[in-house]
Amino acid sequence: MTDAFLGVERSLTGRRWVGLSVEQDRQAEAMAQQTDLPRPLCATLARLGVPLDKAEQYLTPALRDLLPNPSVLKDMDAAAARVADAVRKREQIAIFADYDVDGGSSAALLICWLRDMGLPATLYIPDRIDEGYGPNAPAMAGLAADHDLILCVDCGTLSHDALAAATAADVIVLDHHLGGETLPPALAVVNPNRQDEDGTLAHLCAAGVVFLLLVAVNRAMRSEREVPDLMAMLDLVALATVADVAPLVGVNRALVRQGLKVMAARGRVGLRVLSDVARMDTAPTSYHLGFLLGPRINAGGRIGAADLGARLLSTDQEHEAQALAERLDTLNTERREIETAVREAALAQAEDRGLDAPLVWAAGEGWHPGVVGIVAARLKEASNRPAVVIGLEGDEGKGSARSVSGIDLGAQIQKLAAEGLLIKGGGHKMAAGLTVARDQLEPAMARLTEMMEKQGAGLLGPSDLRLDAVMMPAAATVELIELIEQAGPFGAGAAGPRFVFPDQRILFTKPVGDGHLKISFGDGGPVKLDAIAFGAFNSDLGPTLEAHAGRHFHLAGRVEINSWQGRRSAQLRLEDAALA
């Protein structure tokens, strides 16, 4: 085990601090010397695995250089040819989409593209409670009776029986969830996570797959007629990629980076209105997509009408967008209240079982299926263990699972379904869904616990706090932060950098809001820095800093730009601290 960073074995939030490896530290030093880039930025690039000779290129990623040829994905050419043919013949097209942000964004991409081609499309999103996840036979048969082509987005890879019911129409699956040994009966199954794919594009979300399809269709039809501007649609791809927690590496990083620029132009009425409803007053970042916009768009599928999010993202009518955005904002507030009640009950149950088990799980009567995924994520964060949360109703339970780095949960849940312990289940490495018979709940969770133990989940300690470098208050300038942000966008698979301000004196403290703490600090020099610690009083962090009594602390967190009344300044989003 490597030495703890600054010797911090247990911080005020109970974590061990871990810095760069020896190799990464050497790489950062060499990069700083050869490129003249600031040392904190070089530390971030080294930790992200950027080669020494690729630093400058990494800071300015070009989508044209990173976008793969769509044809590398199996069935892509057949899918693109069929969609192009449907447009030429003015056929009836239906879109069957999942009810989350990725599904809604994927559907909106297709609806907007087809609308630009003068072709309306039918949107169908199943009800989470009445129909559950993915295609079902009655819905597919009904759509096939009235349409020539059905596009299943963000779902369908495991839906053999449902797709077989669509006998009167061609079906194309555009998905990214883990495939089984056999493919469903469809004209094309375009999925980078098919068993027979090589995995090089496994990080794409469904909207990324749909975008590649549209690239291929544009390419096929460009000689015949004017085709839609796909670059203008990257805001939807960025939103889906971040909200679906797809890793921000390779082409995903370029898609999100360009998509954020498109979103900042506020051209899509649905996102513009939703941003205003969510009181976003700065240019969008991956944080806004994941924590402000994403949850609101998801709220319709969780506890309201499943199609609200897709309708908002695809509308070109201001009044409709305003009504949908306000409705989703209200539903999101209701969702938070429901989530709080389920989270408290689930955490109490999981604590009784033990948060140090290889699998942390909880199940409760009537727990809303729309919030079990969020609660599973909270249990995972609290325990640093894979987590499953299940809502029981009647003879069945519907649940969601979330994993931690290094533990493949989706494949094991799929295996559990194949063994007959689940009615159905599937997903990807970090997230999965499942349906279980009530009388099989205990045996299924016991078997899944056994599977998680074999992957080493029971040996995981409290999550470490990973830190990139030391920084002093005088170095934390707006200019440096803007430069560091060029290494982003940051998110899953490419965590944003954290820095430590060592041996700092607390100059001012003030509790604010609901359990937050504002402070200012300095190292004795002329520059002091402001910081905000959200949820500081949920641990020893807030009380200890507030009662600092002149003691010095190491302060860790993310540096960011605070905009207030036209003035921009550097501040620290404080996440942790330790006595110096």
* Three-point CA angle 353, 355, 359, nearest 5°: 80
489 cis-preceded (ω within 30 degrees of 0): yes
End-to-end CA distance of the chain: 22
Which tokens in the block code for residue 338?
A: 């429901």
* 111 has a pLDDT exceeding 70: yes
Q: How far apart are CA 513 and CA 481, in angstroms?
A: 26
Overall residue count recorded for the chain in this entry: 580
Do residue 271 and residue 393 come from a single domain? Answer: no
DSSP state of 14: S
In the block, which residue shows the tokens 């995972």? 380
* 462 has a pLDDT exceeding 80: no
Which tokens in the block code for residue 323?
A: 């009504």
Residue 538: its pLDDT value, please? Answer: 86
Query: pLDDT (tens digit, 9 = 90+) per residue, 480-524?
Result: 999 999 999 998 889 999 999 999 999 999 999 989 999 999 999
Query: Structural domain tally of the chain?
Result: 4
Query: pLDDT (tens digit, 9 = 90+) per residue, 369-428?
Result: 999 999 999 999 889 899 999 999 999 999 999 999 889 999 999 999 999 999 999 888
Percentage of the chain modeled with pLDDT above 90: 89
Do residue 414 and residue 528 come from a single domain? Answer: no
Q: How far apart are CA 42 and CA 573, in angstroms?
A: 21
343 falls within a domain:
no
Do residue 219 and residue 81 come from a single domain? Answer: yes
CATH number at residue 12: 2.40.50.460
Q: How far apart are CA 133 and CA 522, in angstroms?
A: 52
Q: In terms of residue numbers, what domain contains 400?
A: 354-459
For the purposes of burial, counting CB atoms within 10 Å of the CB of 102, is it exposed (0-12), middle (13-18) or buried (19 or more)? buried
Do residue 48 and residue 9 come from a single domain? Answer: no
Do residue 324 and residue 283 come from a single domain? Answer: yes
For residue 43, count other CB atoms closer than 10 A to its CB: 27
Do residue 38 and residue 117 come from a single domain? Answer: no
* 575 has a pLDDT exceeding 70: yes
Residue 445: its pLDDT value, please? Answer: 97
Do residue 477 and residue 412 come from a single domain? Answer: no
